[in-house]
Structure 1
Amino acid sequence: MIDFHAHLDLYPDPHTVARECVIRDLYVLSVTTTPSAWSGTAALTRDAPRIRTALGLHPQIAHERKGELPLFERLLPQVRYVGEIGLDGGPEFRRYLPDQEHVFSRVLSLCARAGGRVMTIHSRRAATQVLDALATEPDAGVAILHWFSGTHRELARAVDQGCWFSIGPAMLAGDKGRALAAKMPRDRVLTETDGPFVQVDGRAAWPWDADRAVKALSQIWSEPISTVQGQLLRNLRHLTSHGTGAV
């Protein structure tokens, strides 16, 4: 099972969640929202070879944490995964877009200079702007659009630009998300939860709730669950077989 976008450090008891992920043999990408959170979050998973920690600077707090860009630059050589990064065009964050764009542009530039990274990217109500930024830094690495919610035209452009997608139970609970998922290249899809921000059955999603996305994909793709699981594992291995990351 794969959860390619979870905030392990933001659970009330992150050590217990990390241990449970190990027991369940999950592949997890543990994302961070600030560079200053990376070291402590990475320490959660020292004995968990299938859990990797990404270095992030979340767009929703970019205006508050842009001063951590020098720290991001210092830590980048230590990581193969970057996230959560991106842009957020929601009404409550739109006034901070200049700061978001500055941070995102700088992060992409640093990743390109470092030889590319696997990046998990937030693009809520800003898919076109995210794709524009990625087009200006083609050497930044592999872009995985987390919980993509753009238009079908933006999806087609993202596919043309070589983007990947991580999709979870919350996205697949609605008709729009399912319709988008149906058009995504099956060999560029991974599952996620975005826990603990996402709610499942009235509680915060656990990383192992990614199996709900597998079941939904089984319906969307009209394939047995075992076939979906096999495809997702092949996708993960392909993604991480390059220099920008490793399982």
Structure 2
Amino acid sequence: MIDFHCHLDLYPDPQQMMKDARLRDVYVLSVTTTPSAFKGTAALASDAPRVRTALGLHPQLAHERKGELQLFDELLSATRYVGEVGLDGGPEFKKHWHDQLSVFNRILGACAKAGGRILSIHSRRAAKPVLDALEKYPDAGIPVLHWFSGTQRELRRASDMGCWFSVGPAMLAGDKGRSLVSEMPVDRILTETDGPFAQVDGLAACPWDVDRAVETLSLLWKRPRPDTEERLATNLKSLVEAKSVANVAQASAVR
């Protein structure tokens, strides 16, 4: 099982959640919302070989935490993964749009300068400006659009640009989400939960709840469950071995 976007540090008991994910053999990309949370979150995964920690600065916090950009730059060499980053066009965050753009562009520029990273990107109500920014920084790395909710036209543009997508049970529960996923390149899809923010059956989604997403993908792709699991595993292998991020330091990387 693969959970490519999960906030492990934000569960009520992060250590227990980490242990449970490890016992269930879930591959997890543990995204962070601020640079100051990175080291503590990475420490949770110190003995979990299938958990990776991403360095993030969430767009909803950009106006409050833009002062941590220097820390972001200092930590960037410690990981191959960046997230959660991006833009949020929700009305409650529009007044901070300038800060969001400034932070996101700064992050993309830093990633490009560092040789590229795998990026887990937030684009709620902001698909076009996110894609515009990615076009400005083609060397920033490989964008993985988390819980993409744009239009079909924006999806085609993202696909043509080479973007990847992570999709979860909450996204796949709705008609729009399933319609979008049906049009995504099968070889550029990974599963996620966005736990603990997303819910499954009224409870915070756990990493192993990606099982629900795998089931839905099997139906959408009209494939047996084992074939779907194999496709997702192949996708993950392809992503992490992509040449555009091959120069990222690994020997000294913090997971």
TM-score between both structures, scaled by the size of structure 2: 0.95
Superposed CA deviations along residues 156-184 of structure 1, whole A, max 9, x for unmatched, are 00001000000000100000000000000
Structure-2 residue corresponding to 1:208: 208
Conserved 8 A contact 1:81-1:244: no
- For residue 241 of structure 1, report the CA deviation from its aligned partner: 1.0
Gaps of 5+ in 2: none
Structure-2 residue corresponding to 1:45: 45
C-alpha separation between the residues in 1 aligned to 2:54 and 2:9? 12
C-alpha separation between the residues in 1 aligned to 2:177 and 2:28? 22
Superposed CA deviations along residues 120-169 of structure 1, whole A, max 9, x for unmatched, are 00000000000000000000000000000000000000001000000000
Structure-2 residue corresponding to 1:62: 62
Conserved 8 A contact 1:30-1:53: yes
Structure-1 residue corresponding to 2:151: 151
Structure-2 residue corresponding to 1:184: 184
Conserved 8 A contact 1:118-1:244: no
Superposed CA deviations along residues 36-64 of structure 1, whole A, max 9, x for unmatched, are 00000000000001100000000001000
Structure-2 residue corresponding to 1:30: 30
C-alpha separation between the residues in 1 aligned to 2:26 and 2:47? 13
Give the share of equivalent positions with the same residue, in percent.
65
- For residue 194 of structure 1, report the CA deviation from its aligned partner: 0.1
C-alpha separation between the residues in 2 aligned to 1:152 and 1:94? 23
Alignment of 1:16-165 (within 5 A): 16-165=16-165
Structure-2 residue corresponding to 1:233: 233
TM-score between both structures, scaled by the size of structure 1: 0.98
Change (3 A) 1:23 1:241: same
- For residue 199 of structure 1, report the CA deviation from its aligned partner: 1.1
AA in 2 matched with 1:190: L
Superposed CA deviations along residues 69-126 of structure 1, whole A, max 9, x for unmatched, are 0000000011100000000000101111100000000000000000000000000000
RMSD value, Cα: 1.1
C-alpha separation between the residues in 2 aligned to 1:60 and 1:209? 25
Structure-1 residue corresponding to 2:199: 199
Change (3 A) 1:72 1:55: same
AA in 1 matched with 2:222: S
**What is the number of residues matched between the two proteins?**
247
Gaps of 5+ in 1: none
AA in 2 matched with 1:206: C
- For residue 240 of structure 1, report the CA deviation from its aligned partner: 0.5
The SS at the match of 2:25 is coil
Conserved 8 A contact 1:193-1:205: yes
The SS at the match of 2:142 is strand
- For residue 244 of structure 1, report the CA deviation from its aligned partner: 6.4
- For residue 209 of structure 1, report the CA deviation from its aligned partner: 0.2
Superposed CA deviations along residues 175-226 of structure 1, whole A, max 9, x for unmatched, are 0000000000000000000000011111101000011000010111111111
Conserved 8 A contact 1:53-1:81: yes
The SS at the match of 1:223 is coil
Query: Higher relative contact order at CA 8 Å, sep ≥6: structure 1 or structure 2?
Result: 2
